[in-house]
């Protein structure tokens, strides 16, 4: 017989190996990435609450289902079709979650993946489940066009937010504002997620040395066209022609365009000053950041950037960064950044020249990093604590403070199973 105070939480994740994240969490190890693992924090919260959990992931492999302690992990590969067939397949994919949700009966369902199709989960509201969207990307591109079919999906998501959602979470104020605008209500409660880090994570990174040459620039992100990697090749090529020997670029990350990127770097004769490393674990990336002067985040306007944690990590590594308003992180971290217009490859080159040539500008931007870092070390801002507050506000759980131990947890009678 189940305990009376048992709470069940469901979580729709992206293409992540939840089993690996679970093993690392149980072993007290961080992920291989610098980035915050929201799923790991979800596991932590479930453990503190003594909750049963259902985690649905979207790796493009095969269907699988396994039990890890009190957590059930299902991997459901997303559709691979295109065009209208893809949209119809996604609707069917969402509807096929119904039997699992009906069987599991979660008190709350945290939804992060497939945000264009959230409306197809409206039926979960009829099961008595609190639906909590957690938006990690913008819902529409502020600097790009919005196709007609996307506008239709947004309209449907707007109805979903109006009628099925009381509270949501967002990775930035830009995303939060879009959620409220889509819901046509300033009363929708949206909690802002702050990616948080352990202070020791960046302790090994050396302070920046502006006088050292060549001027080293790090890119850390997915190697995709919409993340600006081909603009980066253009910038490196121009630096090689106009300031030969003065710049070096380290490109970290994996993606569909990795081999194309390597071929382009070789074709342009940039291999001596542009190193394409591929995936870099936290130790390797930390070493490259220690040698670096600046970080470049050239995300293009056709990508739905929700925050750009590479901007945050640049600040935590005491490095100025160069980006555009396509990255919402610029809203709060502007003091440490050199801003360029969206999709302006020449602007990125000129911004790096400014940082390399002006010790005064470089020092001002570097010093700003120290003033901005504190917010990312505050545990009360973490994904875990933000979700805890949202669950409490929804009446799923209750506690006296955000740091209340699991033993002091009180579940409202109406939400006991």
**pTM of the predicted model as reported, rounded to 2 decimal places:** 0.90
| Domains identified in the chain, total number | 2
Is residue 1 included in any domain, yes or no?
A: no
pLDDT band at 399 (very low <50, low <70, confident <90, very high): low
- 10: closest CA among 64, 58, 60, 73? 73
pLDDT, average across residues 106-134? 96
Q: Which domain holds residue 281?
A: 199-375
Does the pLDDT value for residue 4 go beyond 70?
Answer: no
Confidence (pLDDT) at 33: 55
Predicted pLDDT of residue 35: 55
Is the pLDDT assigned to residue 86 strictly greater than 80? yes
pLDDT digits 0-9 by tens, 64-75: 999 999 999 999
Higher pLDDT, 200 or 242: 242
Asked whether residue 24 is assigned to any structural domain, the reply reads: yes
Name the band, by pLDDT with cuts 50, 70 and 90, for residue 406. Answer: very low
pLDDT at residue 245, as a whole number: 96
Q: β-pairing, 64-68 with 71-75?
A: antiparallel
CA distances (Å), origin 344, targets 62, 157, 273, 300, 347: 40, 32, 22, 9, 5
pLDDT in the model for residue 36: 63
End residue of a domain, out of 360, 375, 390: 375
DSSP 3-state of 299: coil
Check whether 408 has a pLDDT greater than 80: no
313-354 pLDDT per residue, tens: 999 999 999 999 999 999 999 999 999 999 999 999 999 999
Same domain, 38 and 173: yes
Residue 2 lies in a domain: no
Residues 144 and 230 in one domain: no
What pLDDT was estimated at residue 410?
34
What is the C-alpha to C-alpha distance for residues 322 and 365, in angstroms, rounded to an integer? 11
Quick one: 312 and 271 in the same domain?
yes
Domain membership flag for residue 3: no
* 193-215 mean pLDDT: 91
Q: Does residue 175 sit within a domain?
A: yes
> pLDDT per residue over 208-263, tens digit each?
999 999 999 999 999 999 999 999 999 999 999 999 999 999 999 999 999 999 99
Model confidence at 401: pLDDT above 60: no
Q: Tell me the average pLDDT across 124-146.
A: 94
Instruction: Note whether 185 and 331 are same-domain residues.
Output: no
Q: Is the residue at 271 inside a domain?
A: yes
Sequence-ordered list of residues with C-beta below 8 angstroms from that of 24, at least 6 positions apart, any chain? 30, 31, 40
- The mean pLDDT value for 105-117 works out to 96
Segment 267-317, tens digit of pLDDT: 999 999 999 999 998 889 999 999 999 999 999 999 999 999 999 999 999
Q: Are residues 371 and 390 in the same domain?
A: no
Task: Provide the percentage of residues in the chain whose pLDDT is more than 90.
Answer: 86
Q: Are 314 and 320 in contact (CB under 8 A)?
A: yes
The CATH number of the domain where 322 resides is what?
Answer: 3.40.50.2000
| Residues 168 and 268 grouped into a single domain | no
Please tell me the distance from the alpha carbon of residue 111 to that of residue 113, in angstroms, as a whole number: 6
Q: Alpha-carbon distance 324 to 303, whole Å?
A: 12
Mean pLDDT, rounded, of the chain: 91
- Side-chain half-sphere exposure of 187, counting CA atoms within 13 A: 4
Pairing of strands 337-339, 274-278: unpaired
Instruction: Summarize the chain as % helix, strand, coil (round to 5).
Output: 45, 15, 40
For residue 32, the model assigns a pLDDT of 53
135-153: average pLDDT? 93
Fill in the DSSP letter of residue 77.
P
402 falls in which pLDDT band (50, 70, 90)? Answer: very low
Same domain, 62 and 192: yes
- Kindly state whether residues 121 and 151 are assigned to the same domain: yes
Considering the domain architecture, whether residues 401 and 329 belong to the same structural domain is answered as: no
Same domain, 365 and 382: no
pLDDT at 203: 85
Verify that 12 and 135 share a domain, yes or no: yes
- Residues 236 and 266 grouped into a single domain: yes
> φ, ψ for residue 339 (rounded to 5)?
-90, 140
For residue 412, pLDDT over 70 is answered with no
Residue 400: pLDDT band with limits 50, 70, 90: very low
Mean pLDDT (whole number) for 169-181: 96
Q: Which pLDDT score is estimated for 327?
A: 97
Question: Is 320 part of any domain?
Answer: yes
């Amino acid at each position: 017989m189940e305990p009376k105070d048992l709470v069940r939480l469901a979580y729709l994740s992206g293409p992540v190996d939840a089993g690996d994240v679970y093993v690392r969490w149980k072993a007290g190890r961080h992920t291989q990435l610098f980035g915050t693992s929201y799923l790991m924090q979800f596991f932590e919260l479930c453990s503190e609450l003594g909750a049963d959990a259902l985690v649905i992931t979207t790796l493009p492999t095969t269907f699988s289902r396994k039990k890890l302690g009190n957590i059930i992990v299902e991997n459901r590969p997303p559709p691979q079709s295109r065009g209208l067939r893809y949209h119809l397949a996604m609707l069917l994919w969402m509807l096929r979650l119904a039997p699992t949700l009906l069987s599991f009966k979660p008190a709350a369902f945290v939804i992060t993946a497939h945000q264009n199709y959230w409306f197809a989960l409206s039926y979960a509201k009829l099961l008595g489940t609190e639906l909590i969207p957690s938006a990690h990307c913008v819902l529409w591109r502020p600097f790009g066009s919005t196709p007609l079919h996307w506008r239709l999906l947004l309209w449907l998501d707007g109805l979903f937010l109006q009628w099925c959602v009381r509270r949501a979470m967002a990775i930035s104020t830009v995303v939060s504002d879009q959620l409220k605008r889509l819901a046509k209500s300033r009363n929708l409660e949206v909690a802002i997620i702050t990616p948080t880090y352990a202070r020791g994570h960046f302790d090994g990174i050396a302070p920046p040395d502006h006088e050292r040459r060549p001027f080293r620039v790090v890119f850390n992100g997915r190697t995709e066209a919409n993340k600006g990697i081909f603009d980066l090749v253009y910038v490196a090529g121009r630096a090689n022609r106009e300031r030969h020997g003065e710049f070096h670029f380290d490109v970290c990350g994996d993606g569909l365009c990795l081999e194309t990127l390597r071929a382009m770097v070789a074709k342009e004769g940039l291999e001596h000053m542009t190193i394409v490393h591929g995936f870099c674990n936290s130790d390797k990336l930390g070493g490259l950041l220690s040698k670096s002067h600046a970080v470049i985040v050239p995300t293009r306007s056709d990508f739905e950037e929700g925050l750009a944690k590479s901007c945050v990590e640049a600040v935590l590594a005491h490095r100025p960064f160069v980006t555009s308003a396509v990255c919402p992180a610029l809203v709060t971290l502007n003091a440490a950044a050199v801003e360029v217009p969206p999709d302006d490859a020449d602007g990125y080159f000129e911004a790096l020249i400014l940082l390399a040539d002006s010790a005064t500008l470089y020092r001002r931007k570097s010093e700003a990093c120290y003033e901005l870092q504190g917010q990312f070390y505050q545990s009360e801002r973490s994904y875990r604590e933000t979700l805890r507050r949202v669950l409490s506000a929804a009446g799923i759980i209750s506690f006296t403070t955000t740091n209340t131990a699991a033993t002091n947890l009180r579940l409202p009678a109406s939400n006991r199973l």
